[in-house]
Chain A
Amino acid sequence: MLSFAFRRLLSAIPTLLVLLALSFALIRVAPGGPFDTEKTIPAEIQERLNETYHLDEPLWQQFFRYLGDLLQGDFGPSFQYKDYTVSELIAAGFPVSLKLGGLAMLLALLVGVSVGTLAALNQNRRTDHVAMGAAMTGISIPNFVLAPLMVLVFAVTLRWLPAGGLNDWQSYVLPVISLALPQIAYIARLTRGSMIEVLRSDYIRTARAQGLPTSEVLLGHALKPALVPIVSYLGPATAGIITGSVVIEQIFGVPGLGRYFVQGALNRDYTLVMGIVVFYGVLIILFNFLVDLAYRWLDPRVKL
């Protein structure tokens, strides 16, 4: 297990390097600089600025400087928010995003697995059709469509919930639900499929033949093997929630990383944008690594 973990970690390094090189290249070939303003700055000041931020060095040198700084946990200063470093901005925004995303993920897993299991138990009956119809709706309605619609209904018309901000628990309801819904739908469909497969297997029939109640068959025997595909879906699910958070944070005015990203991109705040891409990229790579470990634990047949 340990050697597997080590090998798996090693194979993440090229992925990481490609991530860094790609985002670095992308940002540097971009037309327009961080200090482009309406009025032209005197050449000397421009030069000084470039010198301070090492923009005058050759590209490869900038890249290695960046890598070196990154290894020390330094994402550099923000080009736009003058008094902050990117690390500080990430430290301020990420806990907010994590809280939203974590709650959404939890909700998605709980509801998705329950709905999927319910559908599998009632395969091809009405409950199944209703659940899968709802799941299809969840997949087909993008969350940036759903979120404003929910605001329209629950915040503007009914006035039950706040339309934005993150002050009390009520203000979490709409953003978390809008983030979770597409994932709930995918997880429900996956769970249904794998649960049907598992429920058909011989050892489940044996368990049933012994007269175990359905709940015990489900929790004691069927759930763990049925969860294997769900676990492997956790990687894409995380990526989906992170991407979703970009618009959801924008819609609900949540001061998280997704919002910083959009603002940073529009302001050409190179270091901030790069920092967030790298940060999330590393997070996803790390998460996929954990998922692979969990996968092996859940299904000992898997050889990686």
Chain B
Amino acid sequence: MKTPEQSITAENSGAKAADGSVSKAPDNSGAINKGRSLRDDAWDSLRRNRAAMIAMAVMATVVALVLFAPLLSPYDIDSTDWDTISKGPSLVTAHWFGTDDVGRDLFVRTLYGGRISLLVGLAATLVSLVIGIAWGAAAGYAGGKVDQVMMRIVDVLYAMPFMFFVILLMVFFGRNIFLIFIAVGAINWLDMARIVRGQTLSLKRKEFIEAARAGGVSPFNIVRRHIVPNLLGVVVVYVTLTIPQVILVESFLSFLGLGVQEPMTSWGALVNDGAQAMETAPWALIFPAVFLALTLFCFNFIGDGLRDALDPRDRRTN
């Protein structure tokens, strides 16, 4: 079990290592071998985490499938095969996942749907990342009244039933995919802002920030050059856990018929179609559902693994 002081040193050395200026932990108490950065430790710990490594492999496979979709099937996303309407998976016709009720190939549709789902996941996470880091770092670094007001705004927004607002937005302004990015990103930045603020508060008391301030670096540059790079560890974990949430929200909207529109599709939309036809064509539900669940699974496992690896406090429990 680590004492609090040791945890603090670990955090300290990690911060410096991430800064790129000091790579050796100064007082790695009792260490005879050469110093290890927190990053080395984290990487080792992650590699030992079998679930996370398997998840990464599976995720890589899914991404490869989705990217190379056109090469893997003779069919395209929107053309009807009149001979096979609502037929199950078949190797003879090369409809690996079967066809839907208008004869479109479900293998191709599932993979193209994956493109949309993953794209929304990444793009919306990026939106929430930018807003969250900017807001949190500004509030944490400014401190005092500014901090109080900014975090109070986050608290107020936190209590809003945003899912309902997003549904309304989708209904009113058409089912625009960019609107999904913005809307979903706008919900998820709140958590990010809180986490980043907390980290910033503890970072800004560190000596290297003090040094930068004494050297006359402007507050904006201190945040940009010294605070933000040191937040990356926490942010990476959070990003891996946000992506599945975002994919989930997009699927939720598409499931209600409010997400992406025909002829494009996403996993949520496919699950919705499949659910309506499941009594006669269960494959239309099962394949997209498996892809969606598998992806969420993998991101959650990777995120958990990264968190365990990067958080020195949690390591003792494993």
Q: Does A281 count as interface, using CB distance less than 8 angstroms?
A: yes
How many CB-defined contacts (below 8 Å) exist between A and B?
A: 118
Q: In the complex, which range does the number of interface residues on chain B fall in?
A: 35 or more
The closest CB in chain B to the CB of A182 belongs to B248
Complex A-B: 21 CB contacts under 8 Å: A15-B155, A18-B156, A26-B169, A27-B168, A30-B172, A124-B318, A139-B296, A140-B244, A140-B293, A141-B289, A141-B293, A148-B275, A151-B278, A196-B317, A246-B167, A246-B256, A247-B256, A250-B256, A251-B275, A277-B165, A284-B159
Contact A149-B171, Cβ < 8 Å, known A137-B297, A141-B296, A246-B256: no
Which residues of A sit under 8 angstroms from B279, Cβ to Cβ?
A: 152, 156
Q: Does A204 count as interface, using CB distance less than 8 angstroms?
A: no
Q: In the complex, which range does the number of interface residues on chain A fall in?
A: 35 or more
Q: Are A23 and B292 in contact (CB under 8 A)?
A: no
Q: Are A261 and B164 in contact (CB under 8 A)?
A: yes
Instruction: Please classify the interface of chain B as helix (H, G, I), strand (E, B), loop, or mixed, using the class held by over half of its residues.
Output: helix
* Residues of A near any B CB (own CB < 8 A): 14-15, 18-19, 22-23, 26-27, 29-32, 123-124, 136-137, 139-142, 144-145, 148-149, 151-152, 156, 196, 239, 242-243, 246-247, 250-251, 261-262, 265-266, 268, 273, 276-277, 280-281, 284-285, 288
* Residues of B near any A CB (own CB < 8 A): 155-157, 159-161, 163-165, 167-169, 171-173, 244, 248, 251-252, 255-256, 268, 271-272, 274-275, 278-279, 282, 285-286, 289, 292-293, 296-297, 300-301, 304, 317-318
Which residues of B sit under 8 angstroms from A246, Cβ to Cβ?
A: 163, 167, 256
Q: Are B256 and A277 in contact (CB under 8 A)?
A: no
Which residues of B sit under 8 angstroms from A243, Cβ to Cβ?
A: 161, 163-164, 252
Instruction: Please classify the interface of chain A as helix (H, G, I), strand (E, B), loop, or mixed, using the class held by over half of its residues.
Output: helix
Closest A-B pairs by Cβ, 9 of them: A30-B172, A148-B275, A140-B296, A140-B297, A243-B163, A265-B171, A141-B293, A145-B289, A15-B156
Known pairs A15-B156, A148-B275, A281-B159; list 16 more (Cβ under 8 Å): A26-B168, A27-B168, A124-B318, A136-B297, A142-B296, A144-B251, A144-B271, A144-B272, A145-B293, A148-B285, A149-B289, A156-B279, A247-B252, A262-B256, A265-B167, A280-B164
